[in-house]
Amino acid sequence: MLKILIVNGYETLGQGEAKLSNTISLLSKKTFLDKGYEVKTTIVEQGYSAELEYEKFDWVDKILIHFPFVLVFSTWIV
């Protein structure tokens, strides 16, 4: 049976509620569990222990990482 680690890397920085990152992480977990895979998760914003994360990395076969991608555009006037 495949072992999956899902890392939700979103951190609230005074804006947003992480709805998209949380939804994608939860949907990913449900999908993998429905397929019979073993799943563990790490939610960066809730804190984590380096020792526990090392144990997860020893346990896991595949890692799925969700980090928000933010584009910041600024107007350049020349």
pLDDT tens digits, one per residue of 17-76: 778 888 999 999 999 999 999 999 999 888 989 999 999 999 999 999 988 766 555 555
pLDDT of residue 30: 98
- Side chain identity at 51, as an amino acid letter? E
Note the pTM of the prediction, 2 decimals.
Answer: 0.80
pLDDT on residue 75? 56
Domain range list for the chain: 3-66
Band of residue 12 on the pLDDT scale cut at 50, 70, 90: confident
CA 37 to chain centre: 17
Split at pLDDT 50, 70, 90, the class of 6 is very high
Q: Report the phi/psi class of residue 36: left, alpha or beta, with left for phi > 0 and alpha for psi in -120 to 50.
A: left
Extract the tokens encoding 3: 């072992």
